[in-house]
Chain A
């Protein structure tokens, strides 16, 4: 059940209740903003641009936590920490892992649209 590991169903229900008519707007904002940050990371990782890595991974981590995308937030937290520590080991793998998980989250969210 990918929905259970990738996206916290309780949190998602609460957000749906809180945002009501704006829920689709939230999904739109999250996916667009995160997709934009991923595109920046895709450039930054091969260039070892740690500042951007740190900054954008932190951004995705924060909003993913708010969305209940706990697993994605954890992977991005790892990226962020390495960016901060300027540690280049295994960044490409982490990024592809994060991108894959983002795809999963986006898929689930698309299904949650009201």
Chain B
């Protein structure tokens, strides 16, 4: 804050009496002020504008324009700047004095002038002027900061809206109401159809409103949409969201949420709820509600190792609805501060209404309850219709269309000597299979399968190593030393070829992996029959392959192995 000078440097005197003008001028000059003179009101306003005095003495009765009118004009031209105006007068009647002050003058100075009184008045009003300037500066600063904040919030909101509304909230089966307290809503509603055809919906309520809540919404929305799009299951998505929020949000900021995974084909919904009020399933046939109660802590509170993302399953049929809301419904207050409450909500649910009427009644009655009062929480209500088979099939298609993920495909990948020596194909291959929605969940099994197949081809095929070397612990090390040495000196003309074919099947897919190599073939010895497993360091790979794959065919002479790996969507 800039330092405000305590003393006015320049003072304007407007008086038509030349003797009085001279006396006051002399007094002020003796006190050390620069004095500007005017002989009437018109001149006074002109001098005020041109000389910019910081203090004004005005005679009340002057020719051309009287002191009262002059004061009005000077005050108006000064704007937010506080310019003290002191009337010079020998008027004595109260109505005249009152008129002077109401016109914007600040005080009177009576005749004969007294230098001590004059100096005291100047000092008093200068202090006032200083306070006024400090206030004005602070006001400007606050206004500037506020403008800046709103501008920032608007930019942030554009980013937020892009992320938060990336999904399928416009689906005909979703109806929702969300009120906003601030630029940002503390409630966040996300919905999208996954490539597997499931409709994933998440309603979250962050502690707090505005920017702090929106900050949490950003990673929430981006993880949700990113993972739903790639076909991750609800548990994985919730675990990832919980993990990220737990790591990034400050203590005390968390997110109450309910998440639904609605499968149109399987006619079921999986629900996970943490901290939000009950949601409800509306049975179209009986017009009754089943409550779904939250059994978990909100997101962002538990570290991931303690976090349980186990959903509850409900069967659904056409005409059923899922209704979910944030605590803003029950906690909506009327002007007396009384909450809408659980009972009012329950009574609406128990009226046996048509589903759309339930939605209308809740919103209508909550709004009527709040009236003109101030809302103190975000109010959100979501209604999802479980559609008939035909509409359900249409919804499912929204998921797989144009998302750029792999469905049916094949791939031939051949590694020549120079690549085999140095290149590890596993990360690349897993990266490709990860592009298949749902197959990603099987990545760790698939790694084992691919690794066994590829290493068999390299070690037994291309390098011709015998498993029997691994009879002892020392042999185990020797085996891998030989493998390393063999690869370093790999002759030209060696190769390993990996062929993939993937087809989407009911509830999952089938990946066929064929691995050929340039070797002479190998004879898979049946696993050592001895029960003494502890000294055998080999022979487990094929067993693993046989258990994990639907089929495994080794074509003689053993340099072509075909495995079929079937995977299912996570339930």
A touches B in complex, CB < 8 A: yes
Docked-complex contact A22 and B111, CB < 8 angstroms: no
8 Å CB contacts to B: which residues of A22-62?
A: 22, 25-26, 29-30, 32-33, 55, 58-59, 61-62
Q: How far is the CB of A16 from chain B (nearest CB, A)?
A: 11
Docked-complex contact A19 and B22, CB < 8 angstroms: yes
Tell whether A29 pairs with B26 under 8 Å between CB atoms, given A61-B90, A62-B111, A66-B113. no
Report if B32 contacts A (CB, 8 A): no
Report if B61 contacts A (CB, 8 A): yes
Docked-complex contact B61 and A29, CB < 8 angstroms: no
Q: Which of A11, A33, A67, A84 contacts B18 (CB 8 A)?
A: A33
Report if A18 contacts B (CB, 8 A): yes
Report if B16 contacts A (CB, 8 A): yes
A contact residues, range: 20 to 34
Q: How far is the CB of A34 from chain B (nearest CB, A)?
A: 8
Tell whether A29 pairs with B22 under 8 Å between CB atoms, given A18-B27, A66-B111. yes
Q: Which of A26, A55, A68, A73 contacts B22 (CB 8 A)?
A: A26
C-alpha spacing A29/B24, complex, angstroms: 14
Q: How far is the CB of A11 from chain B (nearest CB, A)?
A: 6
A residues within 8 A CB of B22? 19, 22, 25-26, 29
Report if B17 contacts A (CB, 8 A): yes
C-alpha spacing A22/B61, complex, angstroms: 25
Report if B23 contacts A (CB, 8 A): yes
CB nearest neighbor in B for A62:
B90
Q: How far is the CB of B314 from chain A (nearest CB, A)?
A: 92
Tell whether A58 pairs with B90 under 8 Å between CB atoms, given A18-B30, A66-B23, A67-B19. yes
Q: How far is the CB of B399 from chain A (nearest CB, A)?
A: 92
Q: How far is the CB of B119 from chain A (nearest CB, A)?
A: 13
C-alpha spacing A86/B552, complex, angstroms: 126
Chain A interface mostly helix, strand, loop or mixed? helix
Give a binary string over A1-15; 1 marks a CB under 8 Å from any B CB, 0 the rest: 000000000010001
Q: How far is the CB of A109 from chain B (nearest CB, A)?
A: 11
C-alpha spacing A33/B17, complex, angstroms: 7
Residue among A30, A32, A68, A73 having the largest count of chain B Cβ atoms under 10 Å: A30
Q: Which of A18, A55, A58, A61 contacts B23 (CB 8 A)?
A: A18
B residues within 8 A CB of A96? none
Residue among A22, A26, A63 having the largest count of chain B Cβ atoms under 10 Å: A63
B residues within 8 A CB of A61? 90
Q: Which of B17, B26, B59 contacts A19 (CB 8 A)?
A: B26
Docked-complex contact A66 and B26, CB < 8 angstroms: no
A residues within 8 A CB of B91? 58
C-alpha spacing A26/B26, complex, angstroms: 11
B residues within 8 A CB of A59? 16-17, 61
Docked-complex contact A58 and B18, CB < 8 angstroms: no
B residues within 8 A CB of A73? 90
Q: Which of A30, A58, A77 contacts B19 (CB 8 A)?
A: A30
Docked-complex contact A66 and B112, CB < 8 angstroms: yes
Docked-complex contact A11 and B112, CB < 8 angstroms: yes
Give a binary string over B421-455; 1 marks a CB under 8 Å from any A CB, 0 the rest: 00000000000000000000000000000000000
Docked-complex contact B23 and A62, CB < 8 angstroms: no
Docked-complex contact A19 and B111, CB < 8 angstroms: no
CB nearest neighbor in A for B110:
A65
Docked-complex contact B26 and A33, CB < 8 angstroms: no
Report if B20 contacts A (CB, 8 A): yes
CB nearest neighbor in A for B27:
A18
CB nearest neighbor in B for A68:
B112
A residues within 8 A CB of B92? 77
Residue among A59, A73, A77 having the largest count of chain B Cβ atoms under 10 Å: A59
B residues within 8 A CB of A67? 19, 112
B residues within 8 A CB of A26? 19, 22-23
Q: How far is the CB of B525 from chain A (nearest CB, A)?
A: 126
8 Å CB contacts to A: which residues of B2-41?
A: 16-20, 22-23, 26-27, 30
C-alpha spacing A55/B17, complex, angstroms: 12
Q: How far is the CB of B346 from chain A (nearest CB, A)?
A: 79
Q: Which of A25, A62, A68, A84 contacts B20 (CB 8 A)?
A: A62
C-alpha spacing A55/B61, complex, angstroms: 7
Give a binary string over B522-536; 1 marks a CB under 8 Å from any A CB, 0 the rest: 000000000000000
Give a binary string over B60-74; 1 marks a CB under 8 Å from any A CB, 0 the rest: 010000000000000
Docked-complex contact A63 and B20, CB < 8 angstroms: yes
Docked-complex contact B18 and A65, CB < 8 angstroms: no
C-alpha spacing A97/B408, complex, angstroms: 122
C-alpha spacing A58/B30, complex, angstroms: 27
Lowest 7 CB-CB distances: which A-B pairs, in order? A30-B19, A65-B111, A29-B18, A29-B19, A63-B19, A63-B17, A66-B112
A–B pairs, 26, beta carbons within 8 Å? A11-B112, A18-B23, A18-B30, A18-B115, A22-B26, A29-B18, A29-B19, A30-B18, A30-B19, A33-B17, A55-B61, A58-B61, A58-B91, A59-B16, A59-B17, A63-B17, A63-B19, A65-B90, A66-B19, A66-B20, A66-B111, A66-B112, A68-B112, A73-B90, A77-B92, A84-B93
Question: What residues of chain A have their CB less than 8 Å away from a CB belonging to chain B?
Answer: 11, 15, 18-19, 22, 25-26, 29-30, 32-33, 55, 58-59, 61-63, 65-68, 73, 77, 84
Question: What residues of chain B have their CB less than 8 Å away from a CB belonging to chain A?
Answer: 16-20, 22-23, 26-27, 30, 59, 61, 88-93, 111-113, 115
Known: A18-B30, A19-B26. 10 other contacts (CB 8 A): A11-B112, A26-B22, A32-B18, A59-B17, A62-B20, A62-B59, A62-B111, A63-B17, A73-B90, A77-B92
